[in-house]
Amino acid sequence: MALEESRSETSHGASVTALRNPHHVRHLVMVALERHGMPCDEAGAGDLLASLLDAGDWSRLLDAWGTPAMPMDDLHMSAGAVAARRSRQLERLRAAGLVLADALEVIFQVHPTSSLPPLAVSEHEVDRAGFAIRDGFFARMIARGGSFVVDGGLGCRGADGRLVVHAVTMEADGGESRSAAAAAAVSVLRMQVEEARGRFLERRSYYRLPRGGLFETMSGSMDSVEVISPILVRAFMSDSSEAGCYVLDPHAADGLPAFAVYERHKDGRVFLDADGMGLILPMIRGELFTEEERRRAASRLADERPLTYAVLAGGIVDRANFPALMMEWDDEAELDDLPEFVTVQRMETADGGRSVIVMAVRTDDLLQRRDVAEGHLFKMSSAEFARDVPIDPKRHLKIEAPGVAIALVRPPT
């Protein structure tokens, strides 16, 4: 945590550990707050620091500083615990009045949550111990057949000081010399820590469940989850960083378009296949995803599900039932099988509800990605409307409405 260590070598080569002075850490908090236009006195900075470290107030923090009552550093904690604590600290700094960017700087520049900066790991440390740990991630070098391999993943230091491995997520060539392997291990560790730091900067957290622990979904058992927001989680299949599903809370699921295919658990949670129907989420809940994720989802939809992409990008999903889109997701369906029109908006008439005026867009206009899709109005009975009957120009009366058109949006490049 804030107990940042400084290490020096004695004449015998043994390391000496000195805990950072709590008064100095409090001063750093004061400086950071003043730099962001929120000057405070020592008492206020001390109590804020104590709050960040879950110590109550400044006097209790001093009592616990350097004792077993205060977790010594992140080396003994899982990546999920580190991310969860940082999330709490972020909220407390925001509640104190700091804007998001400034609160993140306090966390990552002043290091109130980590004993060491994210990249403060040396090849000498790995060479000496055979492994290194930062923020719940490990990297180690293993002698194998006259050379070295390097692996990394989720782990912590046990009570005996040895490495405890929770999950191995990557492996790399370490070379033939011990020094080369140590350098490769440092590179692996830094890459993992920086990736986790990037997730946190996006206000997202990643959790690898303990070995043997599983996150059960209706799509199967998952062994890791990424918390995108309080209402949206992505779960991953074992040994995969791609295959999995999105898990939405019931309120988030209420905002899914009518054509979305999902499974609902008995507790109300909703599951969407991440690499299939889940591609629509970055399009309809863009604020929860990064720009790159939105771009990637749009590109895949435009290539693999052009009709779905056109409907979402064109903003024509309101109150709609799209049999054509449902058919597009059917692997056995051909494009020639798609209905001629897709519904855009449904409007009841004023004659007692006996008939309904339905607005529609020609499917070919969407599939051919014309800049403007021509819209039409059709009349059908209220009974057909209630059954979500697809529009059939041979059966339903077309109402002439010149000028009815919808501008479409092309995918970003």
What long-range pairs does 333-340 form, CB within 8 A, spacing at least 24? 335/367, 338/307, 338/363, 338/367, 339/363, 339/390, 339/391, 340/364, 340/391, 340/392, 340/393
Residue 130 or residue 230, greater confidence: 130
Classify 78 as helix, strand or coil: coil
Highest mean pLDDT of the ranges 209-218, 266-275, 296-305: 296-305
pTM of the predicted model as reported, rounded to 2 decimal places: 0.58
Residue 377 has pLDDT above 70, yes or no: yes
Residue 8 has pLDDT above 60, yes or no: no
**pLDDT band for position 1 (50/70/90)?**
very low
Express each pLDDT in 84-95 by its tens digit.
667 677 778 888
Residue 180 has pLDDT above 90, yes or no: yes
What's the mean pLDDT in 12-27?
A: 52
Tokens 């949006």 belong to residue: 409
Expressed in angstroms, the distance from the first to the final Cα of the chain is 42
**pLDDT band for position 211 (50/70/90)?**
low
Q: Minimum mean pLDDT among 70-74, 272-276, 350-354, 376-380: which range?
A: 70-74
- pLDDT given for residue 320 in this prediction: 60
Query: Do 228 and 203 form a contact (C-beta atoms < 8 A)?
Result: no
Query: How far is residue 266 CA from its own chain's centroid?
Result: 25
What's the mean pLDDT in 193-199?
A: 74
Q: What is the mean pLDDT of the chain?
A: 76
Distance CA 274, CA 101 (A): 30
Highest mean pLDDT of the ranges 273-287, 314-328, 360-374, 393-407: 273-287
Judge residue 11's burial from the number of C-beta atoms within 10 Å of its C-beta, 0-12 exposed, 13-18 middle, 19 or more buried: exposed
